[in-house]
Amino acid sequence: MAAANPPARLNRSLLLLIGLVLLVAGAAGLAFGSGALRSLLPGLDPSVPLLPGALDPPAWVPWVTLAAAVVVGLLALRWLLAQARRRPRTTRWGLPAAQVAGRDAGSTRLHSDHAAAALAADVESYDGVQRAAAVLTGDRTRPEVYLDVTAETGADLAALRGLIDDHALPRLRSALGADGARTELVLRLVEAKRAARVG
């Protein structure tokens, strides 16, 4: 599965990467300052100043710094914006060209969101389902299906899962001409809308 729960994997990798960089940098600084590195690299003397008094960097240094700051800044912005995207990336599919009277009658395009909406509508028609949302990704003939179904607390979950497996998904597969579909289903339970507890 590419990314079922974005941006969880991205966050995890980047936090780990940045954490490791900071950890290694800090630890190296500590080792250098405490003189622990001297046995390994005798040239590192912690008792000399960190920088010479008058630093005169070459003319390209500001430009490289500027470029690096802009690139890293844009990546950070992108990372920040990625927090807003909570669903897998969808795609546009081309359906096989239809043959009408022996001639190619053009191609059909379908955005996976529209196929997903039809699937969600099917699931919403089942007993006890309050809301359903679907996302389809991947290849049209072997899509990955992410279903998010909100059912009432008293709903018969086994029957609901049976309907999804034996009715909604086969309908989707036949509509797309897909061989199979990997499906992830997340169930949520809420109190029934009209249920009033007496007492």
Partner 1 sequence: MIRHPRRSVAASLVALVLLAACVLLAVAVVQHLLGQPPVLPFAELNALAAGLTGADVAFLALCGALALVGLVLVVVALRPGTPTVLPLADRDGAGVTDTGITRRSLDRALSHAATGVDGITRASVSSSRRKASVSAHASFGDAAALRTAVRDAVSERLAEIGPARSPRVRVKVTGTKES
Distance CA 55, CA 51 (A): 8
Residue 99 binds partner 1, judged by CB under 8 A: no
Question: What's the token pair of residue 122?
Answer: 């099917």
C-alpha of 11 from chain center = 10
Residue 26 binds partner 1, judged by CB under 8 A: yes
Which residues in 97-174 belong to E strands, given as ranges?
A: 99-100, 103-104, 108-111, 129-138, 143-152
Question: What's the token pair of residue 183?
Answer: 């499906």
**Cα dist from 156 to 67, 110, 126, whole Å:** 59, 34, 11
Which string of x and - marks every residue 134-173 that binds partner 1 (by CB under 8 A)? -------------------x--xxx--xx-xxx--x----
Residue 89 binds partner 1, judged by CB under 8 A: no
Q: Of residues 28-67, which lie at the interface with partner 1 (CB under 8 A)?
A: 28-30, 32-35, 44-55, 62-63, 65-66
* Member of 2, 21, 97, 105 binding partner 1 (CB under 8 A): 21
Q: Which stretch binds partner 1 (CB under 8 A): 100-108, 115-123, 129-137, 183-191?
A: 183-191
Residue (98 or 186) nearer to partner 1, CB: 186
Residue (165 or 177) nearer to partner 1, CB: 165
Residue 70 binds partner 1, judged by CB under 8 A: yes
Residue (92 or 165) nearer to partner 1, CB: 165
Q: Report how many residues bind partner 1 under the rule CB under 8 A.
A: 76
**Cα dist from 126 to 83, 129, 150, whole Å:** 32, 6, 11
Provide the CB-side half-sphere exposure for 18 (13 A, CA): 9
Dihedral sign for Cα atoms in the order 84, 169, 158, 120: positive
Residue (22 or 97) nearer to partner 1, CB: 22
Phi and psi angles of residue 132, each rounded to the nearest 5 degrees, phi first: -145, 140
Q: Which stretch binds partner 1 (CB under 8 A): 5-13, 90-98, 115-123, 132-140?
A: 5-13
Residue 2 binds partner 1, judged by CB under 8 A: no
Residue 77 binds partner 1, judged by CB under 8 A: yes
Collapsing DSSP states into helix, strand and coil, what is residue 96?
Answer: coil
Question: What's the one-letter identity of residue 67?
Answer: A
